[in-house]
A and B are shown apart, each in its own frame.
Chain A
Amino acid sequence: MATFQLEFVSPEKLLLSRPVEMASLPAAEGEMGVLPGHAPMIVALRGGVISVQEGGQTTERLFVAGGFAEVTPTRVTILADDATPVAQLSRADAEARIAECEAALAAAQDGTPEKRDAAMDRLLSARAMLEAAEAA
């Protein structure tokens, strides 16, 4: 089956770079599956799970808290702060994060709309983390 190059980079290092058959990304406006030959796109990612398929099977499931992806017909580049394999997610961590984000959101209530939105986004991403942790 045809493949494309999937690159996963964090600011600190190149996490992953190998040919895969399909990747599904948590794009800002909904889940998005990418196959080779996809039209060029730049998308923002929300918190969610990126799953990678090779040889007809899902070989990798990574949780990202947000980031960006550049899609071209032959390559997908994901820029994310950090990626955790779903198996390593823990419920307790996710819950702690949610509590933290809720507090931040409450504190941002009086702030500018941008600040509130940013806090809201972080909360949603933390909730996605909990969901992913429970599903794993």
Chain B
Amino acid sequence: MASLKSLRMRINSVKSTRKITQAMKMVAAAKLRRAQSRAEAARPYAERMERMLASLGTAVAGQPDAPRLLVGTGGDAVHLLVVISGDRGLAGAFNTNVGRFARARIRELESHGKTVKILAVGRKGATYLKREFASRFVGEMSFAGKKVVGFEDATEVAAKVTELLDQGAFDVCSLVYNRFRNVISQVPTAQQMIPAALPEAGDDAPAAGPQALYEYEPAEDQILAALLPQNLAVQIYRAILETSAGFYGSQMTAMDNATRNAGEMINKLTLNYNRTRQANITRELIEIISGAEAL
């Protein structure tokens, strides 16, 4: 049985761990609120962008010289996965989940004979995938040094993707990230970006009616050429925001669990400590009594 002193030390160390996890939980909760409101604030732009794109896309998609960002290269041989993960750990299975999801997807694509390339955004996902797929990496980006990830950072990622497309480095591009469903549930999702997945004309036929009446200045294809890279950046920005909200949600849950576990541990150790203390007292008493009897 452990000595009283070592038990006391254990209890103290678990207590300070609990203090740390509790503080981290509270920090994560505050940051989560901020991340959520940022994600909320970004929604109007994305919505309006989508609306414009829907009306433009249907006008241009049928043309033979439609921009590549919209229709892709026509091939399906090389897939680029943009994997977005957190930059830090201590958030439960958050980063592992998106990593595992990406790995399954890479395996699946490769089993169909496709070539896969990876652009990793976020440090944790990059290290996870590097272990197995280092040869498929075409780029790695991280915003670890930044306090707040802004739209310019998303534009940077989008510029990298566009550059690769211009070089003809891939045919299909999709985004892999943790979609933020609510604070305790983040779902790893793959979302196709190039060729752009436009809403089907049949789905919103009533909405398409008035949209067809828009006049364009300059011509449709010119606006579209300017709008598409922006749209790419918006989609990436949204994924980054959802990742950051999801990250803090996940961290909060993980730290809450850790705090609870530490509490349980302290109870168990305290019980153990008291038992040992009593056993020591009893033993000392027996020794005294039997010593007195022997006289």
Contacts and interface: CB of A to CB of B under 8 A. Distances in A.
Given A14-B41, A40-B215, A44-B222, A9 B52 contact: no
Contacts of A81: 151
Contacts of A28: 217-218, 222
Contacts of B196: none
Contacts of B38: 12
B223 A40 contact: no
A79 B233 CA distance: 13
Given A79-B52, A79-B230, 19 more contacts: A7-B44, A11-B151, A11-B234, A11-B237, A12-B38, A12-B45, A12-B150, A27-B217, A28-B222, A29-B217, A40-B214, A41-B214, A42-B52, A42-B56, A44-B222, A44-B223, A68-B52, A70-B51, A79-B45
A39 interface: yes
Contacts, number: 73
A41 B48 contact: no
Nearest to A11: B151
Contacts of A68: 52, 223, 226-227, 230
A41 B215 contact: yes
A18 interface: no
Chain B facing A: main interface SS: helix
Contacts of B210: 40
Chain A facing B: main interface SS: strand
A12 B222 contact: no
A42 B44 contact: no
B214 A14 contact: no
Given A70-B48, A77-B48, A43 B42 contact: no
Nearest to A115: B166
Nearest to B229: A118
Given A42-B52, A68-B223, A77-B48, A11 B42 contact: yes
Interface string A1-13: 0000001011111
A117 to B, nearest CB: 10
B48 A79 contact: yes
Interface residues on chain B, size class = 20 to 34
Interface in B206-250: 210, 213-218, 222-223, 226-227, 230, 233-234, 237
Interface of A: 7, 9-14, 27-29, 39-44, 68, 70, 77, 79, 81, 112
Contacts of B223: 42-44, 68
Among all A-B residue pairs, the 8 with the closest Cβ atoms: A13-B41, A11-B151, A9-B45, A41-B215, A43-B217, A40-B214, A9-B44, A14-B44
A97 to B, nearest CB: 15
Contacts of A14: 41, 44-45
Contact of B42 (A12, A77, A112): A12
